[in-house]
Amino acid sequence: MITRAGGNHENGYALRIDDLSVSAATAGGVVDVVSGVSFDLRPCEITALAGESGSGKTVTALAVLRLHDVRTLRIRTGRILVDGADMASAGPDVLRRIRGEKVSMVFQEPMNSIDPMYTVGSAIVEVIRAHQRVTRRAALRQAGELLEHVGVPDPRNRLGAYPFELSGGLLQRVMIAMAIANQPSVLIADEPTTALDVTVQQQIMQLLRRLADEGMSILLVTHDLAVVSEYADTINVMYAGQIVESGPVREVLSEPEHPYTAGLVGAVPDVANRRLELSTIPGRVPPPDEFPAGCRFAPRCSFAEAECDAPVAQLFPREERRVRCVRHAQLSLEGVEPYA
Protein backbone atom coordinates (compact mmCIF):
# COMPACT_ATOMS: atom_id res chain seq x y z
CA MET A 1 0.00 0.00 0.00
CA ILE A 2 2.78 2.40 0.79
CA THR A 3 5.10 1.26 -1.94
CA ARG A 4 5.23 3.82 -4.64
CA ALA A 5 8.00 5.08 -6.83
CA GLY A 6 8.53 8.78 -7.12
CA GLY A 7 7.51 11.49 -9.56
CA ASN A 8 9.31 12.19 -12.79
CA HIS A 9 10.60 8.80 -13.76
CA GLU A 10 11.07 9.87 -17.34
CA ASN A 11 13.44 12.63 -16.21
CA GLY A 12 15.18 10.40 -13.69
CA TYR A 13 14.57 12.59 -10.67
CA ALA A 14 11.87 12.98 -8.06
CA LEU A 15 13.06 16.41 -7.03
CA ARG A 16 15.55 18.74 -8.66
CA ILE A 17 17.25 21.67 -6.99
CA ASP A 18 18.69 23.98 -9.61
CA ASP A 19 21.00 26.87 -8.69
CA LEU A 20 19.35 27.58 -5.34
CA SER A 21 20.58 30.63 -3.46
CA VAL A 22 19.11 31.72 -0.14
CA SER A 23 20.02 35.14 1.16
CA ALA A 24 19.86 36.71 4.58
CA ALA A 25 19.53 40.37 5.42
CA THR A 26 22.29 41.33 7.83
CA ALA A 27 23.56 44.61 9.21
CA GLY A 28 26.21 44.62 6.51
CA GLY A 29 23.72 44.08 3.67
CA VAL A 30 22.26 41.06 1.91
CA VAL A 31 24.45 37.95 1.97
CA ASP A 32 23.94 34.46 0.59
CA VAL A 33 23.90 31.73 3.23
CA VAL A 34 23.27 29.15 0.51
CA SER A 35 24.69 29.84 -2.91
CA GLY A 36 24.22 28.09 -6.23
CA VAL A 37 23.21 24.71 -4.84
CA SER A 38 22.11 22.13 -7.43
CA PHE A 39 21.39 18.43 -7.09
CA ASP A 40 18.77 15.81 -7.94
CA LEU A 41 16.98 13.35 -5.72
CA ARG A 42 16.35 10.12 -7.55
CA PRO A 43 13.85 7.38 -6.74
CA CYS A 44 15.17 4.53 -4.59
CA GLU A 45 18.13 6.61 -3.44
CA ILE A 46 19.30 8.12 -0.19
CA THR A 47 21.09 11.35 -1.02
CA ALA A 48 23.17 12.79 1.78
CA LEU A 49 23.61 16.50 2.36
CA ALA A 50 26.61 16.52 4.66
CA GLY A 51 28.44 19.33 6.37
CA GLU A 52 29.25 20.98 9.66
CA SER A 53 27.15 23.57 11.43
CA GLY A 54 27.02 26.78 9.45
CA SER A 55 27.43 24.96 6.13
CA GLY A 56 23.88 25.76 5.01
CA LYS A 57 22.66 22.18 4.84
CA THR A 58 19.61 22.66 7.04
CA VAL A 59 18.64 25.95 5.34
CA THR A 60 18.81 24.14 1.99
CA ALA A 61 16.59 21.33 3.26
CA LEU A 62 14.06 23.73 4.79
CA ALA A 63 13.97 25.88 1.64
CA VAL A 64 12.89 22.86 -0.41
CA LEU A 65 9.59 22.90 1.48
CA ARG A 66 9.66 26.69 1.87
CA LEU A 67 9.91 26.16 5.61
CA HIS A 68 12.88 28.50 6.02
CA ASP A 69 12.43 31.50 8.29
CA VAL A 70 10.85 34.05 5.94
CA ARG A 71 11.52 36.91 8.36
CA THR A 72 15.25 36.62 7.82
CA LEU A 73 15.78 34.42 4.77
CA ARG A 74 14.71 34.74 1.14
CA ILE A 75 15.11 32.42 -1.83
CA ARG A 76 17.12 34.72 -4.08
CA THR A 77 17.62 32.51 -7.14
CA GLY A 78 16.91 29.01 -8.31
CA ARG A 79 14.23 26.48 -8.88
CA ILE A 80 13.03 23.54 -6.80
CA LEU A 81 11.25 21.25 -9.19
CA VAL A 82 8.92 18.56 -7.94
CA ASP A 83 5.86 17.00 -9.53
CA GLY A 84 5.57 19.68 -12.21
CA ALA A 85 5.75 22.55 -9.73
CA ASP A 86 8.50 24.96 -8.76
CA MET A 87 8.54 25.22 -4.97
CA ALA A 88 10.74 28.29 -5.15
CA SER A 89 7.92 30.35 -6.64
CA ALA A 90 4.80 28.29 -5.86
CA GLY A 91 1.67 29.92 -4.43
CA PRO A 92 -0.10 28.76 -1.26
CA ASP A 93 -2.36 26.18 -2.95
CA VAL A 94 0.52 24.45 -4.67
CA LEU A 95 2.59 24.58 -1.47
CA ARG A 96 -0.22 22.90 0.45
CA ARG A 97 -0.51 20.16 -2.16
CA ILE A 98 3.22 19.46 -2.36
CA ARG A 99 3.88 19.55 1.36
CA GLY A 100 3.07 16.22 2.93
CA GLU A 101 1.63 14.78 -0.27
CA LYS A 102 4.71 14.90 -2.53
CA VAL A 103 7.49 15.96 -0.18
CA SER A 104 7.51 15.53 3.57
CA MET A 105 9.96 15.99 6.37
CA VAL A 106 11.27 14.35 9.53
CA PHE A 107 13.18 16.42 12.09
CA GLN A 108 15.92 15.84 14.60
CA GLU A 109 14.03 15.90 17.88
CA PRO A 110 10.88 13.81 17.57
CA MET A 111 9.65 15.03 20.96
CA ASN A 112 9.77 18.65 19.81
CA SER A 113 8.01 18.11 16.52
CA ILE A 114 4.80 16.39 17.61
CA ASP A 115 1.89 17.93 19.50
CA PRO A 116 1.98 16.40 23.00
CA MET A 117 -1.78 16.90 23.47
CA TYR A 118 -2.86 14.44 20.78
CA THR A 119 -2.59 10.69 20.68
CA VAL A 120 -0.30 9.23 18.08
CA GLY A 121 -3.34 7.87 16.23
CA SER A 122 -5.15 11.19 15.98
CA ALA A 123 -1.96 12.94 14.87
CA ILE A 124 -1.56 10.51 11.98
CA VAL A 125 -5.29 10.64 11.15
CA GLU A 126 -5.06 14.43 10.88
CA VAL A 127 -2.21 14.17 8.41
CA ILE A 128 -4.07 11.60 6.30
CA ARG A 129 -7.34 13.56 6.25
CA ALA A 130 -5.56 16.77 5.27
CA HIS A 131 -4.81 15.23 1.89
CA GLN A 132 -7.26 12.37 1.39
CA ARG A 133 -11.06 12.26 1.47
CA VAL A 134 -11.50 9.34 3.79
CA THR A 135 -13.55 8.72 6.91
CA ARG A 136 -11.94 9.04 10.31
CA ARG A 137 -12.37 5.32 10.82
CA ALA A 138 -10.69 4.45 7.51
CA ALA A 139 -7.89 6.89 8.29
CA LEU A 140 -7.39 5.28 11.69
CA ARG A 141 -7.12 1.89 10.03
CA GLN A 142 -4.51 3.33 7.68
CA ALA A 143 -2.69 4.82 10.67
CA GLY A 144 -2.44 1.36 12.22
CA GLU A 145 -1.07 -0.06 8.99
CA LEU A 146 1.45 2.78 8.78
CA LEU A 147 2.73 2.13 12.29
CA GLU A 148 3.10 -1.52 11.40
CA HIS A 149 4.98 -0.59 8.22
CA VAL A 150 7.53 1.48 10.14
CA GLY A 151 8.06 -1.29 12.66
CA VAL A 152 6.18 -0.07 15.73
CA PRO A 153 5.40 -3.16 17.81
CA ASP A 154 1.75 -3.70 18.74
CA PRO A 155 0.65 -0.92 16.36
CA ARG A 156 -3.14 -1.02 16.90
CA ASN A 157 -2.77 -0.42 20.63
CA ARG A 158 -0.09 2.23 20.18
CA LEU A 159 -2.58 4.42 18.28
CA GLY A 160 -4.04 5.47 21.64
CA ALA A 161 -0.68 6.39 23.16
CA TYR A 162 0.44 9.93 23.84
CA PRO A 163 3.90 11.04 22.68
CA PHE A 164 5.31 11.11 26.21
CA GLU A 165 4.49 7.43 26.60
CA LEU A 166 6.86 6.46 23.78
CA SER A 167 10.65 6.22 23.69
CA GLY A 168 12.64 8.50 21.36
CA GLY A 169 13.13 5.70 18.86
CA LEU A 170 9.45 4.73 18.76
CA LEU A 171 8.49 8.38 18.46
CA GLN A 172 10.85 8.86 15.52
CA ARG A 173 9.14 5.87 13.86
CA VAL A 174 5.79 7.57 14.47
CA MET A 175 7.14 10.77 12.88
CA ILE A 176 8.27 8.77 9.87
CA ALA A 177 4.84 7.12 9.69
CA MET A 178 3.23 10.58 9.65
CA ALA A 179 5.68 11.75 7.01
CA ILE A 180 4.94 8.86 4.65
CA ALA A 181 1.19 8.75 5.38
CA ASN A 182 0.27 10.35 2.06
CA GLN A 183 2.82 8.39 0.07
CA PRO A 184 5.12 11.24 -0.85
CA SER A 185 7.81 10.57 -3.40
CA VAL A 186 10.38 12.55 -1.43
CA LEU A 187 11.24 12.38 2.26
CA ILE A 188 13.58 14.94 3.81
CA ALA A 189 15.20 13.73 7.02
CA ASP A 190 17.11 16.42 8.92
CA GLU A 191 19.53 14.71 11.36
CA PRO A 192 16.86 12.05 12.07
CA THR A 193 19.04 9.98 14.41
CA THR A 194 21.26 12.57 16.08
CA ALA A 195 19.24 12.56 19.31
CA LEU A 196 18.98 8.77 19.45
CA ASP A 197 21.13 5.98 20.90
CA VAL A 198 23.34 4.14 18.47
CA THR A 199 21.29 0.93 18.63
CA VAL A 200 18.12 2.90 17.84
CA GLN A 201 19.94 4.90 15.17
CA GLN A 202 20.69 1.67 13.37
CA GLN A 203 17.03 0.65 13.41
CA ILE A 204 15.85 4.04 12.10
CA MET A 205 18.49 4.12 9.36
CA GLN A 206 17.55 0.59 8.31
CA LEU A 207 13.94 1.72 8.13
CA LEU A 208 14.85 4.72 5.95
CA ARG A 209 16.96 2.44 3.77
CA ARG A 210 13.97 0.11 3.33
CA LEU A 211 11.69 3.02 2.39
CA ALA A 212 14.23 4.08 -0.23
CA ASP A 213 14.47 0.54 -1.57
CA GLU A 214 10.68 0.59 -1.90
CA GLY A 215 10.94 3.59 -4.22
CA MET A 216 11.16 6.74 -2.12
CA SER A 217 13.76 9.47 -2.63
CA ILE A 218 15.33 10.42 0.66
CA LEU A 219 17.35 13.53 1.40
CA LEU A 220 19.44 12.77 4.48
CA VAL A 221 20.77 15.92 6.12
CA THR A 222 23.57 14.89 8.45
CA HIS A 223 26.96 15.72 9.94
CA ASP A 224 27.77 12.02 10.41
CA LEU A 225 29.97 10.63 7.64
CA ALA A 226 29.90 7.13 9.09
CA VAL A 227 26.10 7.06 8.70
CA VAL A 228 26.50 8.39 5.16
CA SER A 229 29.09 5.74 4.41
CA GLU A 230 26.81 2.91 5.48
CA TYR A 231 23.42 3.99 4.28
CA ALA A 232 23.54 6.63 1.53
CA ASP A 233 23.96 6.30 -2.23
CA THR A 234 25.14 9.78 -3.12
CA ILE A 235 26.67 12.58 -1.11
CA ASN A 236 26.79 16.35 -1.42
CA VAL A 237 29.38 17.91 0.85
CA MET A 238 28.52 21.47 1.81
CA TYR A 239 30.91 24.11 3.08
CA ALA A 240 30.11 27.78 3.71
CA GLY A 241 26.86 27.69 1.73
CA GLN A 242 28.16 25.86 -1.31
CA ILE A 243 28.34 22.27 -2.42
CA VAL A 244 32.08 21.67 -2.62
CA GLU A 245 31.97 18.07 -3.72
CA SER A 246 29.42 15.48 -4.76
CA GLY A 247 29.06 12.07 -6.30
CA PRO A 248 28.52 8.42 -5.35
CA VAL A 249 29.26 7.94 -1.62
CA ARG A 250 31.94 5.30 -2.03
CA GLU A 251 33.84 7.32 -4.63
CA VAL A 252 33.68 10.63 -2.81
CA LEU A 253 34.68 9.26 0.58
CA SER A 254 37.37 6.86 -0.63
CA GLU A 255 38.86 9.21 -3.22
CA PRO A 256 37.98 12.75 -2.19
CA GLU A 257 38.93 15.45 -4.68
CA HIS A 258 38.26 18.42 -2.42
CA PRO A 259 40.62 19.18 0.51
CA TYR A 260 37.63 19.94 2.76
CA THR A 261 36.11 16.51 2.16
CA ALA A 262 39.47 14.90 2.86
CA GLY A 263 39.81 17.01 6.01
CA LEU A 264 36.42 15.91 7.29
CA VAL A 265 37.16 12.28 6.56
CA GLY A 266 40.43 12.54 8.50
CA ALA A 267 38.76 14.13 11.50
CA VAL A 268 36.08 11.48 12.02
CA PRO A 269 36.84 9.35 15.06
CA ASP A 270 36.31 5.90 13.66
CA VAL A 271 35.60 2.72 15.62
CA ALA A 272 37.45 0.63 13.05
CA ASN A 273 40.93 1.98 13.61
CA ARG A 274 42.71 3.90 16.32
CA ARG A 275 44.97 6.76 15.34
CA LEU A 276 47.56 8.48 17.48
CA GLU A 277 46.19 11.84 16.59
CA LEU A 278 43.11 12.88 14.64
CA SER A 279 43.79 15.15 11.70
CA THR A 280 42.22 18.57 12.04
CA ILE A 281 41.25 21.47 9.82
CA PRO A 282 42.83 24.74 10.96
CA GLY A 283 40.59 27.74 11.64
CA ARG A 284 36.81 27.75 11.56
CA VAL A 285 33.89 28.24 9.20
CA PRO A 286 33.55 31.98 8.50
CA PRO A 287 30.17 33.66 9.03
CA PRO A 288 28.24 34.36 5.77
CA ASP A 289 29.22 38.04 5.59
CA GLU A 290 32.88 37.02 5.64
CA PHE A 291 32.78 34.33 2.95
CA PRO A 292 35.88 34.84 0.76
CA ALA A 293 35.34 35.99 -2.83
CA GLY A 294 37.46 33.17 -4.21
CA CYS A 295 37.45 29.58 -3.01
CA ARG A 296 35.65 29.73 0.32
CA PHE A 297 37.80 27.04 1.84
CA ALA A 298 41.11 28.53 0.68
CA PRO A 299 41.97 30.38 3.95
CA ARG A 300 41.88 27.05 5.81
CA CYS A 301 43.32 24.91 3.04
CA SER A 302 46.90 23.67 3.19
CA PHE A 303 46.98 23.28 -0.60
CA ALA A 304 45.83 26.83 -1.42
CA GLU A 305 47.75 28.80 -4.08
CA ALA A 306 47.29 32.19 -5.69
CA GLU A 307 44.91 30.72 -8.28
CA CYS A 308 42.47 29.89 -5.46
CA ASP A 309 41.66 33.58 -4.95
CA ALA A 310 39.36 33.61 -7.97
CA PRO A 311 35.76 32.33 -7.64
CA VAL A 312 35.51 28.62 -8.34
CA ALA A 313 32.85 27.10 -10.56
CA GLN A 314 31.65 23.52 -10.28
CA LEU A 315 34.08 21.22 -12.06
CA PHE A 316 33.26 17.80 -13.42
CA PRO A 317 36.33 15.58 -13.13
CA ARG A 318 34.51 12.32 -13.80
CA GLU A 319 31.06 11.06 -14.56
CA GLU A 320 28.69 11.92 -11.69
CA ARG A 321 31.49 13.66 -9.82
CA ARG A 322 31.47 17.37 -9.13
CA VAL A 323 34.11 19.29 -7.22
CA ARG A 324 34.68 22.95 -6.48
CA CYS A 325 38.47 23.07 -6.42
CA VAL A 326 40.66 24.39 -9.22
CA ARG A 327 43.62 22.40 -7.98
CA HIS A 328 41.86 19.05 -7.65
CA ALA A 329 43.75 17.42 -10.53
CA GLN A 330 47.11 18.21 -8.92
CA LEU A 331 46.18 16.90 -5.50
CA SER A 332 46.24 13.37 -4.27
CA LEU A 333 44.14 13.26 -1.13
CA GLU A 334 43.64 10.48 1.35
CA GLY A 335 40.18 9.01 1.76
CA VAL A 336 38.44 6.27 3.68
CA GLU A 337 39.94 2.80 3.52
CA PRO A 338 37.39 0.09 2.82
CA TYR A 339 36.35 -1.67 6.00
CA ALA A 340 37.53 -5.26 6.08
Binding site for other proteins (CB under 8 A): 52-53, 168, 197-199, 201-202, 205, 209, 223-227, 229-233, 249-250, 253-254, 263-275, 277-281, 284, 336-339
When the beta carbons of 224 and 245 are compared against other proteins, the nearer one is: 224
Other beta carbons within 10 angstroms of residue 39's beta carbon come to 21
Side by side, which strands form the sheet with 15-26? 29-41, 15-26, 73-82, 85-86
- CB 135 → other proteins: shortest distance, Å? 40
Q: Characterize the bridge pairing of strands 242-248 and 186-190.
A: unpaired
When the beta carbons of 141 and 209 are compared against other proteins, the nearer one is: 209
- CB 34 → other proteins: shortest distance, Å? 18
Query: Does residue 38 contact residue 20 with C-beta atoms inside 8 Å?
Result: yes
When the beta carbons of 79 and 223 are compared against other proteins, the nearer one is: 223
Contacts of 197 (CB under 8 A, 6+ apart): 168, 169
- CB 256 → other proteins: shortest distance, Å? 12
- CB 82 → other proteins: shortest distance, Å? 25
- CB 156 → other proteins: shortest distance, Å? 27
When the beta carbons of 136 and 339 are compared against other proteins, the nearer one is: 339
Q: How many CA atoms, within 13 angstroms, populate the side-chain half-sphere of residue 130?
A: 18
When the beta carbons of 118 and 291 are compared against other proteins, the nearer one is: 291
Torsion-angle region of residue 68: left (phi > 0), alpha (psi -120 to 50) or beta? beta
Distance CA(8)–CA(23), nearest Å, equals: 29
